[in-house]
């Protein structure tokens, strides 16, 4: 598990050397940097005394004395409670700054109502994740909530340590871009944690995939994969395309199989024959996709006038393979994608694609977590028509 805590003001908690604190190769999530009391050889914390949790030599009583207010008032200021005057808030903040007080995040978590949103993603790179992350962060900021981000690196095989860490932080909302693999074991594990999260005031939202077998107590924010791909394919059919190829088959993915179903549904409704032998599998490696596209094209797919790709990346890699063979897009073949990544509109031949509202989905996930636990939402997609799809020059 890798993670960093991002405050809504954009700051990142740091260790004593100013570097984000890392423990055992994984960034430790916390609302602020924590430095505990020194421990003597006998195992006893030096300078320890009874009273509120503290860091270094300053505690909440010291802040209250310096500001001339009660410890309860200091506590309200630290929690962001609105029932404090601006003048009092300023005095407390000044005392905190003057005394260089660093609050203990774990102690605060036990005494403060949940006021954070944690997003768990497979990766922190790529247009899909960056847009969803931005959406979640902006909605959290709009509610004056702390935002945290965790990357699993795509590993959902042993989720218990991650879920236990989340429980210890007591966020108000946990948003997970959980695995969409059909028949995955993670869903069953997450279901077992629903009551545990509810007991600490946390709601769960799964983002950017269908519910599948998830508990009805977990909210789901999905998007229209099947109907979106169906719309793209029907548009290409309306231009006169009759022979199609599909790039990006992945049979164990609920998201990508929904897109494939939409593609096949459009062909069937139009009464068009389809040869699946020319399909190429989904792959993240550009060279592999290019090689597969070239091999398929040379083995008979060259009769096709249209390629429907399961993602914009697959469409881009497919175009690269076709160009190697001297095939021009869209003069010789039209290519359409799905997602509408930031680069799609700025290519030499702008890509026709299905726009997925990833940013809006991120914002919706936070709203659902705060206001409609257990809801099932499907966000609409829309077709972005650009230059990579045109009327076929051959039948």
CATH number for the domain running over 49-101: 1.10.260.40
pLDDT in tens, the chain (395 residues): 444 444 444 444 433 333 333 333 333 333 332 233 333 333 333 344 444 444 457 888 899 999 999 988 988 887 666 678 999 989 998 998 888 887 665 565 555 567 899 999 988 776 678 899 999 999 999 999 999 999 988 888 889 999 999 998 899 999 999 899 999 999 999 999 999 999 999 999 999 999 999 999 999 999 999 999 999 999 999 999 999 999 999 999 999 999 999 999 999 999 999 999 999 999 999 999 999 999 999 999 999 999 999 999 999 999 999 999 999 999 999 999 999 998 899 999 999 999 999 999 999 999 999 999 999 999 999 999 999 999 998 76
- Per CATH, 49-101 and 116-217 having the same topology is answered no
Question: Interior CA angle at 177 toward 174 and 181, to 5°?
Answer: 135
CATH of region 225-357, choose from 3.30.930.10, 3.90.1150.10, 3.40.50.880, 3.40.50.2300: 3.40.50.2300
CATH of region 116-217, choose from 3.40.50.720, 3.40.50.2300, 3.40.50.620, 3.40.1670.10: 3.40.50.2300
Interval 216-252: pLDDT, tens? 999 999 999 999 999 999 999 999 999 999 999 999 9
Which residues, at least 6 apart from 295, have a Cβ–Cβ distance to it below 8 Å? none
Contact 47, 55 (CB under 8 A): no
What one-character-per-residue DSSP string does 277-310 give? GG-EE--S-HHHHHHHHHHHHHTTGGG-SEEEES
Distance CA 324, CA 111 (A): 62
Nearest to 203 by CA among 212, 211, 193, 213: 193
Domain ranges of the chain: 49-101, 116-217, 225-357
Backbone angles phi and psi of 251, in degrees to 5? -75, -15
């Amino acid at each position: 598990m890798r993670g960093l805590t991002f405050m809504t003001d954009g700051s990142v908690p740091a260790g004593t050397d100013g570097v984000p604190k890392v423990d055992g190769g994984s960034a430790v999530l916390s609302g602020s940097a924590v430095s505990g009391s020194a421990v003597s050889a006998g195992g006893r914390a030096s300078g320890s005394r009874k009273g509120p949790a503290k860091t270094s030599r300053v505690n909440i009583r010291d802040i209250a004395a310096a500001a001339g207010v009660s410890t309860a008032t200091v506590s309200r200021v630290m929690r962001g409670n609105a029932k404090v005057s601006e003048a009092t808030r300023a005095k407390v903040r000044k005392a905190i700054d003057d005394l260089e007080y660093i609050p203990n995040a774990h102690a605060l978590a036990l005494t403060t109502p949940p006021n954070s949103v944690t997003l768990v993603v497979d990766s922190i790179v790529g247009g899909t994740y960056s847009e969803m992350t931005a959406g979640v962060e902006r909605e959290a900021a709009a509610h004056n909530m702390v935002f945290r981000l965790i990357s699993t690196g795509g590993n959902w095989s042993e989720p218990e340590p991650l879920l236990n860490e989340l429980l210890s932080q007591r966020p108000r909302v946990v948003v997970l871009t959980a695995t969409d693999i059909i028949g995955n074991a993670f869903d069953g594990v997450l279901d077992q944690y629903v009551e545990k999260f509810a007991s600490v005031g946390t709601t769960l939202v799964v983002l950017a995939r269908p519910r599948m077998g998830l508990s009805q107590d977990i909210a789901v924010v999905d998007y229209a994969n099947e109907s979106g791909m169906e719309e793209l394919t029907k548009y290409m059919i309306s231009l006169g395309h009759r022979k199609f190829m599909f790039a990006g088959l992945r049979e164990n993915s609920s998201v990508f199989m929904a897109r494939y179903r939409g593609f096949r549904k459009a062909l069937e409704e139009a009464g068009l024959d389809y040869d699946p032998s020319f399909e190429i599998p989904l792959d993240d490696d550009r060279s592999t996709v290019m090689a597969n596209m070239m091999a398929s094209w040379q083995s008979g797919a060259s009769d096709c006038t249209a390629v429907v790709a399961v993602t914009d990346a697959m469409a881009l890699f497919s175009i690269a393979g076709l160009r190697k063979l001297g095939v021009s897009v869209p003069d010789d073949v039209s290519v359409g994608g799905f997602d509408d990544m930031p680069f799609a509109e700025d290519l030499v031949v702008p890509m026709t694609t299905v726009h997925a509202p990833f940013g809006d989905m991120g914002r919706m996930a936070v709203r659902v977590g705060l206001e409609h636990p257990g809801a099932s939402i499907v966000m609409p997609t829309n077709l972005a028509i650009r230059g990579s799809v045109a009327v076929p020059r051959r039948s």
